[in-house]
């Protein structure tokens, strides 16, 4: 069966209209689906809480920072005590405090206070508890 040219154009135009409407409907359906997925992902992320673990303490402290405690600083031929008093060491490496008590130096190089506490050698002086 042969179709006339006018029938063929009419039929092809109707087919093109249906296909273009179908493409538009498909695109709308895809856009809606994508929108729902994006909105769902965003909504799921809003309820999530993140907990940050505390940073671990540093393995070693830089030489410019010292842990809490009092320092006896070596200043050329003198020691500067935590209160700012300057004392001169004797030949054994110990020294007398202003109150007359003696601070001795032990075999490991630490200073032993009259209370028995040890001030450990650090860069530029001693660190006391």
Whether 6 shows a pLDDT value over 60: the answer reads: no
Q: Show me where the domains of the chain are located.
A: 7-45, 70-128
Identify the band that residue 46 occupies on the pLDDT scale cut at 50, 70 and 90: low
3-state secondary structure of 24: helix
The whole-number pLDDT of residue 64 equals: 45
Distance CA 52, CA 30 (A): 38
- The arithmetic mean of pLDDT across residues 42-57, rounded, is 64
* Torsion 110-112-113-117 (CA) sign: positive
- CB-based burial, 116-127: b 16+ in 10 Å, e otherwise: eebbebbeebbb
Q: Which residues pair with 119 in a beta bridge?
A: 111
**Residue 30 φ/ψ, nearest 5 degrees:** -65, -45
């Amino acid at each position: 069966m042969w179709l006339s040219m006018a029938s063929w154009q009419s039929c092809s135009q109707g087919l093109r209209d249906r296909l273009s409407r179908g493409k538009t409907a498909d695109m709308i359906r895809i856009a809606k689906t994508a929108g729902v997925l994006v909105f769902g992902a965003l909504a799921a992320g809003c309820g999530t809480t993140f907990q940050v673990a505390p940073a671990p303490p540093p393995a070693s402290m830089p030489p410019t920072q010292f842990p809490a405690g009092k320092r006896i600083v070596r200043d050329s031929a003198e020691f500067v005590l935590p209160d700012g008093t300057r004392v001169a060491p004797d030949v054994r490496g110990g020294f007398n405090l202003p109150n007359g008590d003696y601070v001795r130096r032990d075999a490991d190089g630490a200073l032993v206070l009259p209370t028995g506490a040890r001030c450990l050698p650090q860069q530029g002086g001693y660190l006391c508890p």
